[in-house]
Amino acid sequence: MAVTENAPAPKRERWTAQWLELYDEVVTTGLCTGCAGCVIACPHDVIGYDHSSGGYRPFHLEEELGPDDCIHGQKGCTSCTRACPRFRTWETEADTFLFGRERLPAELSGIGKDIVLARAADPALAAAGQDGGLVSAILLWAMEHGYIDAALVSYLEGDGTSWKARPGVARTPEDVLAAAGSRYTYSANNLAYDDAVEGGADKICLVGMGCMTSAPPVMKNRKIGKVGRRFALNIGLLCSKTFDDAIFEELFEAKYGLKKQDMVKMNIKGVFQIWMRNGDYHEVPLKECHAWTREGCTRCPDFAAEHADISTGGIGAFNDWTLTVIRTDVGREIMDGMIRDGVIETRPGDDDPGAIDLMQKLSRKSRKRWPETAVAAPGAVPPLPPKVAPAAGA
Ligand SMILES: Cc1cc2nc3c(=O)[nH]c(=O)nc-3n(C[C@H](O)[C@H](O)[C@H](O)COP(=O)(O)OP(=O)(O)OC[C@H]3O[C@@H](n4cnc5c(N)ncnc54)[C@H](O)[C@@H]3O)c2cc1C
Ligand code: SF4
Ligand code: SF4
């Protein structure tokens, strides 16, 4: 049918999908990452979350209709599917909401304005961070300048020796510092949302891997209401996988005799690096760790946290700088403000072209995990250029 100038804009189809569809299309198909977006979005509090090893999944708390249906959904509630950043066309929706267009297949690491290397100017903050301490510096500056009043971050349980990551709220500079650094097991930071709101927060920053940071734009695009609107800033962590908590006992301790209570820091740079309390340093080959990959990561297509305002990573030649992708206007504004105030140092991303190439390569690899049976876009990648045969005699 021809569209005339005066024709009304096509109506959005009515959104009717509820837990029934979420369970059938995401939770039980392996697409669910355990991001907990659905849990915090549910206005009836009937979605629980399993934090245990082998879990990291939402489940329905009410028994009337069994695990796969919801009485509130039957009556018209659709909040959980509106929040889920793996439900149906989540990627094109988040792209279009944030950037006004879809990602091109060649944009393997997502749409961005600029790539820089950055680190906190305060050496103590840079040292506390996993790479350049940029994420913690952003949280401090954004709190001080009224962009946010709390952040959803990750802490370690108890005195830290359990290495069990848990979501929590950072409201003060001390909280931000206590949460700095990376843990490579899962922490569904979204779950700290209720705690932040109960503490009076209205402008919330989410820190998390791509699985989590796609939730706020998806929520906003699907008009979920207040839960979405409170997300004022979204800081992404580049990520190819997280490990099941069992890796500590079953690999590090069983094979290498490394007890988690003696570990003080870990990082992944081609190998799993572990620093011990007594000053020892160990490397565990990544291929030995793969068997402990958390199930929720095995179909995740997003390495570069493509729907964050600012995405951050540690790959590249410079260990004490954070590889930083500035994606949105608010991300740009915050980075410019921090540079102006002298709280961070930056250098061009082109200083480390290998890091950008590696980000592209790892993004391509992650995209291939997206199953062909699901909505196509997140898996779209351009073909690799043909290999050039070496010239005769070379
Ligand atoms: C599970 C995981 C996998 C990662 N994989 C890669 C990778 O493959 N390649 C790469 O380049 N970079 C990866 N990163 C990102 C990298 O480790 C740094 O987080 C990033 O470079 C920012 O460093 P920073 O010094 O600026 O951050 P910091 O100032 O140290 O702040 C880090 C923030 O991350 C939060 N955080 C820590 N652990 C977790 C967790 N498990 N879940 C949720 N939030 C958490 C902290 O609470 C803190 O607020 C990964 C991070 C995580 C958490
Ligand atoms: S991906 Fe996140 S929002 Fe979707 S079902 Fe899983 S936990 Fe819920
Ligand atoms: S690979 Fe990283 S971003 Fe993807 S689901 Fe796992 S933790 Fe989330």
Residue 194's pLDDT is: 98
Q: How many CA atoms within 13 Å lie on the side-chain side of 383? A: 3
Are the CB atoms for 232 and 149 separated by under 8 Å?
A: no
Binding-site residues, ligand 3, Cβ < 6 A: 33, 209-211, 239-242, 296-297, 300, 302
Total length of the chain:
394
Give the distance (Å) from ligand 1 centre to CA of residue 222: 28
Residues in Cβ contact with 322 at an 8 Å cutoff, skipping those fewer than 6 apart: 117, 118, 119, 129, 131, 132, 133, 134, 135, 312, 313, 314
Give the distance (Å) from ligand 2 centre to CA of residue 279: 40
C-alpha–C-alpha distance, residues 258 and 279, integer Å = 13
Give the distance (Å) from ligand 1 centre to CA of residue 8: 46
The tens digit of pLDDT for each residue in 330-351 reads 999 999 999 999 999 999 999 9
Helices (H), the chain: 19-22, 37-41, 71-74, 79-83, 90-99, 123-128, 134-144, 173-179, 193-198, 210-213, 215-221, 226-229, 247, 254-256, 286-289, 329-340, 353-367
Residue 52's pLDDT is: 87
CA dihedral 38, 232, 136, 172 (to 10 degrees): -90
Residues in Cβ contact with 100 at an 8 Å cutoff, skipping those fewer than 6 apart: none
Long-range contacts of 11-16 (CB under 8 A, 24+ apart): 15/78, 15/81, 15/82, 15/222, 16/76, 16/78
Q: Is the CB of 212 under 6 A from ligand 2?
A: no
Neighbours of 149 (CB within 10 A): 18
Averaged pLDDT in 10-residue chunks for the chain of 394 residues: 52 89 97 98 97 91 90 97 98 98 96 98 96 98 98 96 96 98 97 98 98 98 95 98 97 98 93 96 97 97 98 94 98 98 98 97 97 88 76 46
CA distances from 17 to 72, 183, 230, 379 (A): 12, 35, 23, 23
Q: Quick one: which atom of ligand 3 is closest to the CA of 212?
A: 8
pTM (2 decimals)?
0.95
Residue 376's pLDDT is: 87
Q: Where are the domains of the chain?
A: 19-91, 92-372
Are the CB atoms for 347 and 360 separated by under 8 Å?
A: no
Got the DSSP string for 103-162?
PPTT-TT---SEEEEEEESSHHHHHHSSSSSHHHHHHHHHHHTTS-SEEEEEEESTTTTT
Residues in Cβ contact with 259 at an 8 Å cutoff, skipping those fewer than 6 apart: 253
Residue 273's pLDDT is: 96
Please name the residue whose Cα sits nearest to atom 4 of ligand 2: 84
Residue 61's pLDDT is: 95
The tens digit of pLDDT for each residue in 222-263 reads 999 999 999 999 999 999 999 999 999 999 999 999 999 999
Give the distance (Å) from ligand 2 centre to CA of residue 123: 38
Residue 4's pLDDT is: 44
Per the DSSP assignment, residues forming a β-bridge with 231 are 204
Residue among 124, 122, 127, 121 at smallest CA distance from 264: 127
CA distances from 51 to 38, 54, 179, 188, 191 (A): 15, 8, 19, 9, 11
Q: Quick one: which atom of ligand 1 is closest to the CA of 209?
A: 43
CATH number of this structure's domain 19-91: 3.30.70.20
Residue 393's pLDDT is: 44
Q: Is the CB of 206 under 6 A from ligand 1?
A: no
304, two tokens: 């570069």
C-alpha–C-alpha distance, residues 268 and 276, integer Å = 15
The tens digit of pLDDT for each residue in 105-158 reads 999 999 999 999 999 999 999 999 999 999 999 999 999 999 999 999 999 999
Please name the residue whose Cα sits nearest to atom 5 of ligand 3: 297
